[in-house]
């Protein structure tokens, strides 16, 4: 159990911790975090706590991969657990954001369905002994999702472009990149999927 693998496990542990912190019924328990205001921007302290935990978990995604490659500590467990940790973290956040009406439900559904299809393609490719890399779009998708989630959590910030909030533009753009990456992955393994038809 080397350091990169420990970081991956730490990221997995942070997923239920983050969900608990966000969904705990604070008002019913008599706990009030309050908020702070700068100019015309008001941001709840709870959002900052969530952003902090999520940013920490996201940073371990970069750090474990960097350390594993730099120190030649890439393991089979790491290859297996790292993408699972990423998807658990990001998809949990997307589901809660959709539940709280902070992002469109369609964006959440499409990005999660994309992951399911890609995982299915990956399993079929693995059965054939073929390893298909995530590619640039796949890596960009993960970074965009993590960045967009943080921007959405800052939804009170008055950023607009063409009278549309930046967080709304970002979530739709992230969904597009996610689907494009999924399509690219599917096209790489389509021959193995349809070979027996």
Q: CATH number, domain at 76?
A: 1.20.120.1760
Is the residue at 159 inside a domain? yes
pLDDT along the chain (197 residues), means of 10: 89 95 90 79 86 93 86 82 90 95 94 91 78 75 92 70 75 94 86 70
Provide the pLDDT for residue 34. Answer: 84
User: Residue-wise over 163-191: b if at least 16 C-beta within 10 A, else e?
Assistant: eebbbbbbbeebbebbbebbebbbeebee
- Cβ atoms of 23 and 134 closer than 8 Å: no
**Cα 196 to the chain's mean position, in Å?**
34
Instruction: Tell me what pLDDT residue 133 has.
Output: 63
| Range(s) of the domain holding residue 72 | 3-191
- Give a yes or no: residue 197 inside a domain: no
Q: Which contiguous run of DSSP H or E holds residue 38? A: strand 35-38
pTM metric for this prediction: 0.87
- Count how many domains the chain has: 1
**What is the spatial distance between Cα 107 and Cα 178, in angstroms, rounded to a whole number?**
10
In the structure encoding, which two tokens stand for residue 113, read together? 């369905």
Phi/psi of residue 17, nearest 5 degrees: -60, -45
Q: What is the pLDDT of residue 77?
A: 81
Query: Within a domain: residue 147?
Result: yes
Asked, for residue 85, whether it belongs to a domain, the answer is: yes
Residue 15: is it exposed, middle or buried by C-beta count within 10 angstroms (0-12/13-18/19+)?
Answer: buried
In total, the chain counts a number of residues equal to: 197
Q: Which of 87, 86, 122, 114 is nearest to 183 (CA)?
A: 114
Q: What are phi and psi of 100, to 5 degrees?
A: -90, 10
Contact residues for 142 (Cβ-Cβ < 8 A; gap 6+) = 61, 86, 90
Q: How far is CA 82 from the centre of its chain?
A: 12
**Residue 133 in domain:** yes
* Residue 185: HSE in the Cβ half-sphere, 13 Å Cα cutoff: 28
* pLDDT value for 113: 95
Is 196 domain-assigned? no
């Amino acid at each position: 159990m080397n350091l990169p693998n420990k970081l991956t496990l730490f990221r997995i542990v942070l997923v239920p911790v983050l969900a608990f912190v966000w969904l705990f019924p604070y008002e019913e328990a008599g706990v009030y975090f309050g908020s702070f205001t700068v100019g015309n921007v008001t941001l709840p302290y709870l959002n900052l706590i969530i952003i902090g935990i999520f940013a920490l978990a996201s940073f371990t995604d970069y750090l474990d991969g960097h350390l594993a490659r730099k120190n030649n500590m890439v393991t089979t467990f790491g290859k297996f657990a790292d993408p699972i940790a990423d998807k658990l973290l990001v998809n949990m956040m997307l589901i809660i954001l959709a539940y709280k009406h902070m992002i469109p439900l369609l964006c959440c559904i499409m990005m999660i369905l994309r992951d399911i299809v890609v995982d299915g393609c990956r399993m079929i490719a693995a059965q054939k002994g073929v390893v298909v890399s995530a590619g640039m779009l796949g890596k960009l998708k993960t970074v965009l999702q993590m960045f967009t989630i943080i921007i959405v959590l800052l939804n009170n910030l008055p950023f607009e472009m063409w009278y549309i909030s930046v967080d709304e533009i970002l979530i739709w753009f992230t969904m597009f990149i996610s689907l494009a990456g999924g399509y690219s992955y599917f096209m790489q393994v389509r021959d193995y999927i349809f070979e027996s038809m």
